[in-house]
Amino acid sequence: MDALPWGDISAREAEVLAAVGEHLTNAQIAGRLHISARTVESHVSALLRKCGVSDRRQLAALAAEAAELGARADDAVLPEARTSFVGRAGDLEAVRTALDTSRLVTLTGPGGVGKTRLAVTASAAVAPRFAAGVVYVDLVPVPPGQVVSAAAGALGVTERPPRPLLGSVADRVRGRAMLLVLDNCEHVLDDVGELVSALLRAGGRLRILATSRERLGVMGEEAHTVSPLPLGSVAETLFLDRARGVDRRFTAAPALVTEACARLDGLPLAIELAAARAAAIGVDGLLTALGDRMRALVGARGGEARHHSLSDVLGWSYDLLESEERALFRRLAVFAAGFDLDAAAAVSPRERPSTVAHLLGRLVEKSLVVRRGTDRTRYRLLETVRAFAHASFAGDEERDEVLRAHVEWASRVAAELETRLDEDDRAARYDEVVDDLRAAFARTEKEPDPVAHRLGRALAHLTFARGSFVESRAHYRAAAERATTSADAVRDLRSASEAAQSLADGDDAFDLLLTGADRAGDERDRSVMLALAVTLATRQLGDFRRAVPSARRAELLARAMRTPVEDREHAAVLATARAWQAGADPVVAIEAAHDAGDPALLQGALDCANSAAARQGRLREAYRIARERLDLVPMLTKHRPADSIEMFDLFHSVSVCAVAVGDLQGALAIADRATEQDPVNADYPFVSLLKYLAPLTLSGRFDEAVELGERAFAEWRAARAPLLAWLAPSVQMLELATGLRGDHGLWRARTLEFVDHTDPRSWRLAATTAFVEARLAVRTGHLIDADRLVRNAFQDFTQPWYRAYANAAGAELAVVAHLPDAEKRLAQAEHTAEENDWAAACVARARGRFTGDVAAFRRSLEIWDRIGARFELEHTEEVAR
């Protein structure tokens, strides 16, 4: 067991605590650990004091919590230390003590003083205090506005629109004993301040350790100044250690090393750079070089040589470079998150790649560039070094040239990654370069630029493929601002709308389509965007905060139809819009989509036919169309925004249709497939779990349904996911499952929580509520309210999917309660049951009860057996006896 965060406990106390968590007596613990009962009693008393609890029951609860968190699911790997940590014993103890009493500790000091190394070492030392682990976030490559995203990535939090990402990050740390390390905050102080304030409010047991060149300025912050290394032992030890890392045989007179360290102000990075050079030219040669540099600086500062800054040391290192090395060094400053040899060559177009490779190797040897990796070698400049290099450009002309080369490189890389979206290694490559792609695109102007446009559109596609829909939408918008033609701008805005649809943000998706229509340079593109807006507003009504009035949709469709059809895609888009809004024959839209060859358009047209069939009560036809959509999944590409939307929709549609016709085994098979293939399952696994609940319940597999439902509901709550009201009927099935097995639970209240509604008879839940209530009344024999429940079961439901279930259960209740209209209700239910096997079996059983017809009971038993409804089969056998 990990040590608890409420007090330092010994290894023996940890063993005793674990045993207390198992509810063992002192005598049992003594026997297990081979110690006396009195010793156990002493350890328990110490644990009560250290953990701040008053009794053994509370201590056992803490032990259980520690065991649960012991897996350290949130642990992040701290940066690997490839060299020894020298000195800083006092600083380490100060940080440990500060983290005992303060929830926010910031290490401040100049660049190169060793803040990061101290933070990492201290974090490793105090890690046992934090049951939920230590999470490290390097903010060096993170631009303003992306701090929350960086923290989310480190914490394993994904976007769950429409909830703000900051809220999801705060939820992640709530209640957890965790240490969050935010490294290099100085360039994003405002963003870090907002993040830290929110997290400290949310997580009472959270500790934050930050490094920055200045305080964060957040209330409750305890700043610890990291000073240069003291002379006389520590600084010299560091110098010798690093010099011998370059040359094992390095030796030097102690006095010369001390003098060198004194001239370097005891700054660790400066010492390391100087030591590497000393390994090549000796300490005397180093002192000569430092003498030249220091003489000028002393003259400028009145002789206070000990006040030299890190930039002075870096300036000295820079002055030692050859002119070709300096030029490459400056150009490498453009990379925010590291680079490879090809990237370095891309920003040095005047040099041959072989020359760049040679120069890069020399910069690595001089410790100005850090080499990382073995299989795929990458490089980076330490941030302080990068800042110095960036400030050393020969002038605006050189800086502009390098920045433009960086944008062109980023554009090529992004376009190349787009072509590899289906390859297994593309994610790792994307992670390596995405910060530079973002930085390069952010520097481009909001004006027509083919290179910037290509970069923006590719970056939008890449981020969409990684599930960052909010970021993708923003990049598509920005790409439209840099488009060189109206056609490209319209395409970008259409993609932005599709990203918004992935966020279930119908309002913004609709507005983006209308903006695209306004931006269109020809009537054809304008017509397409208007038609797409009409289809969206009609088809995805549940995604809108404010529904688009029918008159408005009709007016937009009329405008779209004024333009003569110019091509097959145009024809398909118009036909689909007419089918959704005006009730035109969806077969025309399907044929047009087939001709256009666009799988997303075909899916939309088929969905229109599916909806039309369902509205007309032709559920088996709707199911056939839904299965046809499912068969066409191989035509779709998950990372294409339009296709991704359709893939999510079709899995939901075919699942609902399977249940609607009583194909319980088919519905379970679809749930299995959705778990593997539905793109939304990566972020919302509970969505796929919900698809199991109705078929399991209707099959009589109540325990399995409730177990999965508990899991799904817990994941939904933990995710703080957006309301997915169309899935609420699946949740409500667990009210039936628990009721039929005789242990009425909380699932009525949980269903209303899921749909964020107070009325179980609202239009979306009306049919399932009527079905559940009628079926449970038959099961329990509580018939006092039967007349009302039967009327509810035969109301005019807006949603067709559970109408047959409600009618069948209502008819059986009318029979069991001996209502005068039982014959009428049976006839009504037999009509709707023609489209649903479960309902057909239920109505046949009701008919047998009403008339005593043995054939009706046999027909019911045959259907129950065929569809695998074992509970209903057994119940029917009991009734028929």
Give DSSP secondary structure letters for 314-376: HHHHHHTS-HHHHHHHHHHTT-SS-B-HHHHHHT-TTS-HHHHHHHHHHHHHTTSSEEE-SSS
Residue 71: which pLDDT band, with cuts at 50, 70 and 90?
A: very low
* Mean pLDDT over each residue of the chain, to the nearest integer: 84
Fold of 321-392: Arc Repressor Mutant, subunit A (1.10.10)
Token output for 80: 């690997």
End-to-end CA gap in the chain: 59
Residue 25: which pLDDT band, with cuts at 50, 70 and 90?
A: confident
21-35, 188-202, 460-474, range with the lowest pLDDT: 21-35
Average pLDDT over residues 490-495: 96
Does the pLDDT at position 424 exceed 70?
Answer: no
Residue 105: helix, strand or coil by DSSP?
Answer: strand
Spatial distance between the Cα atoms of 161 and 159, rounded to a whole number of angstroms: 6
> Could you state, in order of their start, the residue ranges of all structural domains in the chain?
11-69, 89-225, 234-318, 321-392, 641-880
Spatial distance between the Cα atoms of 706 and 704, rounded to a whole number of angstroms: 6
Q: Tell me, what's the pLDDT at 302? A: 34
80-89, 528-537, 813-822, range with the lowest pLDDT: 80-89
Does the pLDDT at position 83 exceed 80?
Answer: no
* Secondary structure of 87-99 as H, E, C letters: CCHHHHHHHHHHH
Spatial distance between the Cα atoms of 442 and 421, rounded to a whole number of angstroms: 23
The residue with tokens 């920005």 is 478
Average pLDDT over residues 834-863: 94
More confident residue, 114 or 290: 114
Does the pLDDT at position 8 exceed 80?
Answer: no
In CATH terms, 89-225 corresponds, of 1.10.600.10, 3.30.43.10, 3.30.70.270, 3.40.50.300, to 3.40.50.300
pLDDT tens digit string along 706-754?
899 888 888 877 766 555 666 778 888 888 999 888 887 688 777 777 7
Does the pLDDT at position 341 exceed 50?
Answer: yes
Q: Where are the alpha helices (DSSP H) in 632-663?
A: 641-660
Beta carbons within 8 Å of 258's beta carbon, 6+ residues apart:
231, 232, 235, 236
Cα-Cα-Cα-Cα dihedral of 641, 646, 647, 652, to 10°? Answer: 140
Q: Tell me, what's the pLDDT at 379? A: 87
Output the CA–CA distances (angstroms, integers) from residue 202 to 70, 126, 175, 329, in the order listed. 21, 22, 8, 44
Average pLDDT over residues 395-416: 91
Does the pLDDT at position 294 exceed 80?
Answer: no
What's the DSSP call for residue 16? H
Q: Tell me, what's the pLDDT at 601? A: 94
Q: If you count them, how many residues does the chain have?
A: 881
Token output for 607: 């969905």
* Residue 162 amino acid letter: P
Spatial distance between the Cα atoms of 159 and 442, rounded to a whole number of angstroms: 21
Residue 680: which pLDDT band, with cuts at 50, 70 and 90?
A: low
Q: Tell me, what's the pLDDT at 757? A: 66
Please write down the long-range contacts of 538-543, taking CB distance under 8 Å and 24 or more positions apart: 538/580, 538/581, 539/580, 539/604, 539/607, 539/608, 539/611, 540/501, 540/506, 540/509, 541/506, 542/506, 542/725, 542/726, 543/501, 543/504, 543/505, 543/506, 543/509
Spatial distance between the Cα atoms of 732 and 740, rounded to a whole number of angstroms: 13
Beta carbons within 8 Å of 196's beta carbon, 6+ residues apart:
104, 182, 208, 210, 216, 218
What's the DSSP call for residue 682? G
Q: Tell me, what's the pLDDT at 725? A: 65
In this structure, the number of other CB atoms found within 10 A of the CB of residue 861 comes to 19
75-79, 193-197, 498-502, 503-507, range with the lowest pLDDT: 75-79
Does the pLDDT at position 779 exceed 80?
Answer: yes
Q: Tell me, what's the pLDDT at 627? A: 94
Spatial distance between the Cα atoms of 589 and 586, rounded to a whole number of angstroms: 5
71-85, 618-632, 830-844, range with the lowest pLDDT: 71-85
Residue 138: helix, strand or coil by DSSP?
Answer: strand
Beta strands at 206-212 and 104-108: parallel, antiparallel or unpaired:
parallel
Fold of 11-69: Arc Repressor Mutant, subunit A (1.10.10)
Note if the pTM is more than 0.85.
Answer: no
Domain 641-880 has CATH 1.10.150: no
Determine if the peptide bond prior to 162 is cis (ω within 30°): yes
Output the CA–CA distances (angstroms, integers) from residue 108 to 125, 152, 192, 311, 387, in the order listed. 19, 24, 15, 17, 18
Spatial distance between the Cα atoms of 62 and 28, rounded to a whole number of angstroms: 20
In this structure, the number of other CB atoms found within 10 A of the CB of residue 637 comes to 16
Q: Tell me, what's the pLDDT at 77? A: 62
Identical fold, 11-69 and 321-392? yes
Spatial distance between the Cα atoms of 332 and 330, rounded to a whole number of angstroms: 6
The residue with tokens 């054809």 is 524
Output the CA–CA distances (angstroms, integers) from residue 95 to 98, 106, 154, 208, 854, in the order listed. 5, 9, 23, 11, 83
* Residue 27 amino acid letter: A
Average pLDDT over residues 848-861: 93
Residue 187: which pLDDT band, with cuts at 50, 70 and 90?
A: confident
